[in-house]
Structures are given as C-alpha cells and as structure tokens.
Structure 1
C-alpha cells in the first residue's frame, strides 16, 4: 500500500506536466495556424479604417498585387488600389451601401497591381462597429476573379460569334426569301395591285409564294400558295413550284390544267420518304369588254378560298370546295370558279398563316383567328382598294404579335371606279 501510494505521488506531477505542455503546444499551434491561415489564405484579406486607410492586409493579396506590406499599411487608401472607374463606383455606390447596410457582397472590381496591371476581383465587405454602433473597421475579403473573367470573356466571345452567325443566317434566309418572290408585280392596265409578305421567323425561309405576270395579249395570270414546311427544303419546293406554274401557264393557260401539270411535277419529284406538297390558287384574268371590269377564272388545289370585297360593301368567300392538295395524289380534284370583278370590287388571296394565327395576345384564350373572323373583317372593310386592304391586314397581323407562327402572303387586286363614280 505504502509503495503504491509513493508511486502515485511520484507520478502525479509528471503526468500533470505532460498534458499541460501538450495543451500549450496545441494552443500555440492553433494561434500559428490561424495567423498562417490569415496570411496565406486562398483569398485576400484587407482591413481599412472608416476613412478608407489600409490598416491590415494579408500576404496573399500583397503577392497578387506585387506590393510590400509597408507600401500599403497606414500609407494608402483602399480607393488608391482601384481603377478610375472603380474609384468612382466606390464613392457613389460601394461606400454609401456600406454606410447604410453595413455590408456588401460579391462586388466586381479591378485592383491596380504595382506593375500597372489590373486584377479582376470580387469583394465582400462588412463593417465592424463599436458597442455604440460607431464604425471601427471595414473588413474585406477579396477573391481572385481572373478565371471567372476569362470565362465571361469567352462566354461573351461565343455569344457574339453565335449572334454573328445568326445574323448571317438571317441575311441568307432573307435573301433566299426574296428570290422566291417577284421583285415587282406586273402592271395591269385597269387594275390596282398590292401584295405583302409577313415573315413569322427571320431565322427560317418560309414556303409562301405569289406572282402576277402577263400571258397572251390582254390576259394575265396570278397565283398564290403555300408549300408545307420551312427551311431550305421548303425553299427548293417553292422555287420549283413557282417556275413550274409560270412554264405551265405558257403551255396551257387553263387554271385547272396548270395545277394539274404542277401536281404531276411535284408528285414525280417528291414521292419517296420525304413527300412534299403545297396548297395553291391559280387564275387568269382579262378585261371584260361587255360589262367593264375583269373576267377572272380561279382554280384551287386545297388552298383557302379567296375573298371578294364588292363595291356595294358586301364580302364573301369564293366557292372553290373540294380542291385537293397539290403533289400528294397522282390525279387530284381541282376546284374552279369564275367571277366578274366589277369596278369598285377587290379580290383578296391569302395563305393560312393569317387565319391560323393565335389571337391570345388580344384575348388571352389561345384561340385562332379563323375564317369567320377574317370574313367579318372583310365585310367591315368593304368597299375598299387593294392598297387599303393590304394595309389593314398588315395592321391586323401586327396586333397578333408573336401569335403569328407561320408566314403569311396576301395579294389584292382592285378594279378602280371610273372617276365620275368615285365617292367624295
């Protein structure tokens, strides 16, 4: 018992000195680690007095900027490290925000290094205050944003390249679209003619087309149609369709025969895995020597019916029922109608981009404009001229905004009244 007690008494002081020493070493290590972490942190640390004078700065930030500690501490202000634009921003935005809010986060700035180079950084600052709320220090954490800036520059470069490519494609699409439409329409004595093409997307070539051209002496041909699809493939079909119609009209001007010849060409060229077709209305017109005005014959292959806006203020669709799509069947049914276009009358041809437009921008219900609405629109417009008709439709399309998701072509022909019959 005595020996054991003596052993415990001897070992007590030795055991106590060991943990105490270890605790002291551990505490010293923590203090050293804390100081080392501050000095060599992966970010910069900066403490400034309320007037902006630098009170403390860590080694990381000094190394980034190429300064010695004595160059900055108690000698320079934080604003001295900023670019001219940065100093202006600091005085007008950063400093006032710090005074009002007590902190700012992730502010993008550029610091001037000792060699004159610029270091893009993100700065987060907080204000340390006394017990009575007076500011004592401004503590700032500075993050190196060079990699981020390089990423942003590359992103901007890629975005600019993408925008340039999109503009190039838009120019190409616009140029190609123009080649598919006549630069000018034929001047028909005794007729006023007006056409309009509304492009739904500047990025893609549409498939709508129209034309008016002379045939034999005193006779003219007109057509308007819509090829299925968009893009280069649709443009190829549009080009083939337009020139086929012109050639077929010279060979046999009968409107039904013209569309029959077009159907043969399209059905032969596009009868594989990628069939192509179109809707089209083709007609010819000639002066009516007996009654005045013009005699018009129209043939329709699956196309929306034309509108006749009469001089008496009425308007109706022309009956071309049952006409089938051109290019799908070897021998489609083609509907034909004949009309007399009297002085004061206006004939309107259009593609379905108009009636298929969404009117949600006006009503909020996602409803399509539709044939009935267009007929009511025409009846409210009649009697009118070709130019006024097209102008009203342009204004109508503008009210739909983004609701127009398909190209729209319109062609209006009007027989003017004799000057003696013009209304005042």
Structure 2
C-alpha cells in the first residue's frame, strides 16, 4: 500500500542544497574562466576608450602585461597606424551613431613582426536612463580568414589572368583565321569594261574557317571566268579543299574554259586527292562572261549548287535552272548541267551559297527558301550588282542567329545607261 503522508527528509533536502551551491560555484568559476581564456579577445573600455578590463587571450596576442594596459592604454593604442585612422574616421562615428558596430576588419599590434588581422565587434552598454556607460568589444583572430581571402584573391587573379590570356589567344586566332580566310578570296574584283561586279562574304563563326569561295578573272582579251562554290565542312580541312578548288578551276579554265570541262577537271582532282581517306567534296557554279555589243553572253555549268538567279531590268526575277548537276569529288565520273543566258543593260546575275536560302526565319525557324529569295529580289529596284548585294547584306543581317552558315554572294551585270538630258527614248 502506497503512503502519501510521509514526512520530509531533512537530510535529503540538505544534500540537494549542497549540490545546487556546488554547481552555482562551478558555473561562476567557468564563466570567469571562459571570459579570460576564451578563444577570442574581450575588453571593456570607458567611453573615452580607456581600457577598463581585458582578457588573457587578447593580452597574449598583444604580448602585453595586464598592469601595462588596464587604466593606462586606450583601445586605439592597440591598433596599427592604419587601424587608428580607420577607427577615428569610420569605426568611432558609427559606434556613436548606432550604438554598435559588427565585423569590422582591423589590424592590431602583436607579439610577431607582422600586425595581426582581426574582426572587431563593439557595443555600447547604457544605464537604465539610456546614458552610455562603457563599450564592450569582442576581437576575433582573422589570420586564417585573411589567408583564405588572400588565397582566394590569388586564385581569382590567376583565373582572370588565364581568362585574359585565353581571350588574347582567341583574338590572335581570329585575326589569323581572318587573314587566312581573305587569302582564299580575291582581294578585290577586277573591273570588266562595260560591266559591274560586286561580292560579299558572311562568316558564321570567327573561330572557324569557312568553306565558301568565289572568284572573277580574265580568260583572254574578250572573256572572263567566274565561279562560286561551297566546300563541305569547316576548319583547316575545308580550307585546304577550298584552296585546291580555286586554283584547280583557274588552271582548268586557262586550258579549256568550257564550264562543264572545268568542273569535270575539278571533280577528277578532288576525287583522286581524297578518295583514299576521308571524302571531301563541294558544290560549285563555273561560268564564262563574254561582253558583246550592248549585252553579255553567259555560259555556265553547275555541280550540285543552287541555281543562279537573274534580276531583270524590268523588275522581274527568275532562276537559271541547272538540274541534274552532281556533287563535285564524290564519284570518279560526274555529270554537270550547263545553261546559257543573255544579260541586257540593267540585268544582274546573282550567285550565292546555300547559307542564304537555308537561313531560319520567324519564331518557328522556317527555312527561308528559294522562292522567298526570288520574291525579295523582285522587290528591289534593278540598280545593278552593287545595289543588289547591299540589299542582300541587309537581308542576311535581319536573320540574326537564324543565319548559322557561311554565305558567299557574287553579282555580275550590266549597268543601265544614264539618260541623256533633253533626250527621250
């Protein structure tokens, strides 16, 4: 049977009181020891900065005796020259204005030759009436943090230097590629009596050599050869094919300017050169211009290339179709399609690579296409090759990132005769 009316045990209560007193004493001793031997520095100063209390940890960092510090030194006496200046101009005004400041980076004098970096937090203790009584300050050792920040800063500097070096290398590479790219194109188009010629080359990426090429050159005193093509791929390998194609077509045309024969020669050279390894091929149009009395005869052939477009002086436009022309360099024997046309004053023959017609447009990134190009050409006034190239340059720019391939343009034509004042036709 459990009884609830037992008398209190005086001896038991005495034991409890003794234990409480012992714990209280231990806690009081621990609090004082924690203050004095804390892993950070503590000090209390009067409002004028005179040090009234300081713990052993901070004294050891400073290498000073307590008797030399308490009542004899001010907080600013512990700081370096730079720290004193910052304290007077920033730390003290902020503390006076806000009553506390936190995590301020300063340097204090230390036992070593080098100042000790610290983080300082101070708070003003006030009376019940709000009068400031003293300033309590905590000082944290920031050597490890400063070393970490220095290492981090060094890492950032190294990374930034590496980034700058990489950017400089990229710029030099782009400059070298631009020079090499220009070497694969004519520096300028020659002047043909009674005709006008214009060209444009868009590089999709300054970091890669393109494979588009074109040229215009004399065959003899009365005829001119021209070509425009597109090598499969990009980079140094494509540039090598481009160079080989240009010089092969020039040499072949001087031997026999027949367009089909010139493309056949190029097909043989490319196939023999690359058939044993990674296949290389291209598309191209090769043609001959023969200016005559009041017009220009055009004879051209195509090997797998988009058809040439003719803008007429009356504002119409149409393709000079060359169906059936095969890719150049794929097979040992290839078929090429020839076509003829006559350019009259105001007419312009346009050759282009498929970067133009395969550009993506609109939110659905639809293919621009051949019909859109023909329609665009009919909207342009027939003012000659340079005017058409200028209009097409603006069109290419309007595609933005939808134009992701190199594009070469070559326009040839006869200018419209200037009207003689006072004479009607």
Residue by residue over 1:38-93, the C-alpha shift from the partner in whole angstroms, topping out at 9 and shown as x without a partner, is: 427xxxx99999999999999999999x9989798246999954999xx99x89xx
- 2:241 paired residue number: 237
Task: Check if 1:219 corresponds to 2:223.
Answer: yes
User: Residue 419 of structure 2 aligns with which residue?
Assistant: 420
In structure 1, how many angstroms separate the alpha carbons of the residues matched to 2:114 and 2:301?
Answer: 75
Corresponding residue for residue 378 of structure 1: 377
Q: Which has the larger radius of gyration?
A: 2
Residue pair 1:49, 1:138 contacting (<8 A) in 2 also: no
Shift of 1:159: 0.4
- Are the structure 2 counterparts of residues 16 and 118 from structure 1 closer, same or farther at C-alpha, using a change threshold of 3 Å? closer
Deviations 1:294-340 (A, max 9, x none): 00011111111111000011011111112111111111221111000
Residue correspondence of structure 1 range 285-324 to structure 2 within 5 A: 285-289=289-293, 292-324=294-326
| Deviation for aligned residue 1:31 | 5.8
Contact 1:347 1:412 in 2 (8 A): yes
Contact 1:315–1:382, Cα closer than 8 Å, also in 2: no
Equivalent residues of 1:350, 1:408 under 8 A apart:
yes
Match of 2:276 among 268, 272, 277: 272
1:402 Cα deviation after fit: 2.3
Provide the TM-score with structure 1 as the length reference.
0.75
User: Offset of 1:288 from its aligned partner?
Assistant: 2.6
Question: Residue 327 of structure 2 aligns with which residue?
Answer: 325
Note the C-alpha offset of 1:217: 1.8
SS of the counterpart of 1:355?
A: coil
Cα distance in 1 between the residues matched to 2:50 and 2:400: 57
Work out the CA distance in 2 between the residues paired with 1:318 and 1:226: 18
Contact 1:50 1:137 in 2 (8 A): no
Q: Aligned equivalents of 1:46 and 1:224: distance in 2?
A: 85
Distance of 2:51 and 2:346 partners within structure 1: 86
RMSD over aligned Cα atoms: 4.8
Contact 1:228 1:277 in 2 (8 A): yes
How far is 1:235 from its partner? Answer: 0.7
In 2, the alpha carbon distance for the partners of 1:287 and 1:319 equals 22
Summarize the alignment of residues 18-417 of structure 1 with structure 2, pairs less than 5 Å apart. Answer: 24-25=25-26, 28-29=29-30, 32-33=33-34, 36=37, 38-39=39-40, 73-74=75-76, 81=83, 143-144=145-146, 145-289=149-293, 292-359=294-361, 363-417=362-416
Note if contact 1:83-1:110 (Cα within 8 Å) is conserved in structure 2. Answer: no
Provide the rounded CA distance (Å) in 2 between the counterparts of 1:134 and 1:298. 101
Q: 1:32 to 1:349 in 2, by over 3 A?
A: farther
Q: Is the 8 A contact 1:52 1:79 kept in 2?
A: no
Following the alignment from structure 1 to structure 2, what is the Cα–Cα distance between the partners of residues 152 and 295?
66
Q: Aligned equivalents of 2:304 and 2:130: distance in 1?
A: 81
Structure 2 spans left out of the alignment, 5+ residues: 1-8
Moved more, 136-145 or 155-164: 136-145
1:244-295 Cα distance to aligned partner (Å, 9 max, x none): 1101111111001100100111111111341111111110010133xx2100
For residues 321 and 216 of structure 1, the distance between their equivalents in structure 2, rounded to whole angstroms, comes to 29
Asked whether the equivalents of residues 225 and 288 of structure 2 are also in contact (C-alpha less than 8 Å), the reply is yes
For 1:50 and 1:303, locate their aligned partners in 2 and report how far apart those are by CA, in whole Å: 90
Q: Mean alpha-carbon deviation: is it higher for 212-221 or for 49-58?
A: 49-58
Is 1:345–1:414's contact at 8 Å kept on the other side of the alignment?
yes
Moved more, 333-342 or 266-275: 266-275
Give the SS at the match of 1:411.
strand
- Contact map agreement 1:47 1:140 (CA 8 A) in 2: no
How far apart in 1 are the matches of 2:371 and 2:84? 67
Q: Deviations over 1:100-122 (max 9, x none)?
A: 9x9999x9x9979999999999x
Matching residue of 1:4: none
| Gap regions ≥5 residues in structure 1 | 1-7
Per the TM alignment, residue 239 of structure 1 is displaced from its structure 2 partner at its CA by 0.6
Comparing 132-141 with 305-314, which one deviates more in the overlay?
A: 132-141
